[in-house]
Amino acid sequence: MPTSDALAALRIISRFALASCVALCGQALAAPPLADPSGAGSGGPSGVPLGIGQPASPAQIASWDIDVAPDGRSLPPGSGSVAQGLDIYRGQCAGCHGEHGQGGVGEKLAGGQGTLATAAPVKTVGSYWPYATTLFDYIRRAMPMNAPQSLSADQVYAVSAYVLYLNGIVPQDAVLGATTLPAIRMPNRDGFSGDPRPDVLDQACMSACGK
Ligand code: HEC
């Protein structure tokens, strides 16, 4: 039975062995890290890997990394027409959102333009959302609600085109893709303003604050 001192020495040696292997052996031997052979637990504060988990693969990262910026950055290749979107919408969206986007179990998707400043504002994609690219992002990640992320990029472009058509924002013959979608100017694009309260500004005051 080794003493605890001997165990600690063994652990230190195995760490050096792993560290020099990572340094010298390159990619092939660097991953995955081995668990501590002493079984006594290693890593944590010392910075040596715990031997659990695995690096995320590029494919796994890509499946999470699907956000689209308002200006259209990161939109995938592909395209879809209003007519193709009509088919998808009827089959996979209308049951919850209504044949004409009037709403049902799901939100109302069309109409409400010009109501935001009234006593009864109706917020829809068409009346409220400032960027058409957000529609693509939202549908791609979350809809249809019963099968999120099941649509191809072409299908998302198509059904986005159809929702914009329902709102009178694109014509019936519109075909949308990575360059045409960001070029759409949404009716409420300029309807948002910054928060004027000084305490919400993202500037840390470090001295002589309020002077
Ligand atoms: C099973 C019902 C269901 C189906 C099918 C469905 N949706 Fe939805 N959808 C919802 C619900 C519920 C919400 C509200 C979710 C929330 O607010 O968290 C929603 C929200 C949305 C929104 C955001 C509306 C807003 O103003 O906030 C859009 C856009 C949308 N859905 C599009 C679609 C499209 C396009 C399809 C078909 C590909 C689809 N949905 C299929 C239930 C559904």
User: Ligand 1 pocket, 107 CB below 6 A?
Assistant: yes
Task: For residue 59, report the distance from its CA to the centre of ligand 1, in Å.
Answer: 27
| pLDDT for the residue 92 | 98
* pLDDT, average across residues 185-209: 83
| pLDDT for the residue 47 | 82
User: Ligand 1 pocket, 106 CB below 6 A?
Assistant: yes
CA-closest residue to ligand 1 atom 13: 106
Q: What is the pLDDT of residues 18-36, one digit of tens each?
A: 443 334 334 444 444 444 4
| pLDDT for the residue 19 | 41
Task: For residue 145, report the distance from its CA to the centre of ligand 1, in Å.
Answer: 6
| pLDDT for the residue 193 | 87
Confidence (pTM): 0.76
Q: Higher-confidence residue: 90 or 10? A: 90
**180: DSSP letter:** T
User: Ligand 1 pocket, 78 CB below 6 A?
Assistant: no
- Could you tell me which of 20, 13, 48 has the C-alpha nearest to residue 34? 48
Task: For residue 174, report the distance from its CA to the centre of ligand 1, in Å.
Answer: 22
Task: For residue 148, report the distance from its CA to the centre of ligand 1, in Å.
Answer: 10
**HSE, side-chain direction, 13 A CA sphere, residue 120:** 2
Q: Higher-confidence residue: 62 or 195? A: 62
Q: Higher-confidence residue: 53 or 3? A: 53
Which atom of ligand 1 is nearest to 125's Cα? 26
Model confidence at 14: pLDDT above 50: no
Give the number of other CB atoms < 10 A from CB of residue 83. Answer: 15
φ and ψ at residue 207, rounded to 5 degrees: -155, 155
User: Ligand 1 pocket, 85 CB below 6 A?
Assistant: no
Give me the helices (H) in 26-130, please: 27-30, 58-64, 82-92, 94-97, 125-128
Model confidence at 16: pLDDT above 50: no
- Could you tell me which of 171, 146, 21, 151 has the C-alpha nearest to residue 82? 171
Rounded to the nearest 10°, the torsion over CA 55, 58, 62, 64 is 0
Q: What is the pLDDT of residues 104-162, one digit of tens each?
A: 999 999 999 999 999 999 999 999 999 999 999 999 999 999 999 999 999 999 999 99
- Could you tell me which of 180, 175, 135 has the C-alpha nearest to residue 158? 175
CA-closest residue to ligand 1 atom 31: 143
Q: What is the pLDDT of residues 55-111, one digit of tens each?
A: 999 999 988 999 999 999 999 999 999 999 999 999 999 999 999 999 999 999 999
pLDDT band at 43; cut points 50, 70, 90: low
Which atom of ligand 1 is nearest to 155's Cα? 38
CA-closest residue to ligand 1 atom 12: 106
Task: For residue 63, report the distance from its CA to the centre of ligand 1, in Å.
Answer: 21
User: Ligand 1 pocket, 95 CB below 6 A?
Assistant: yes
Dihedral of alpha carbons 161, 166, 167, 168, sign = positive
Answer left, alpha or beta for residue 149, where phi above 0 means left and psi between -120 and 50 means alpha: left
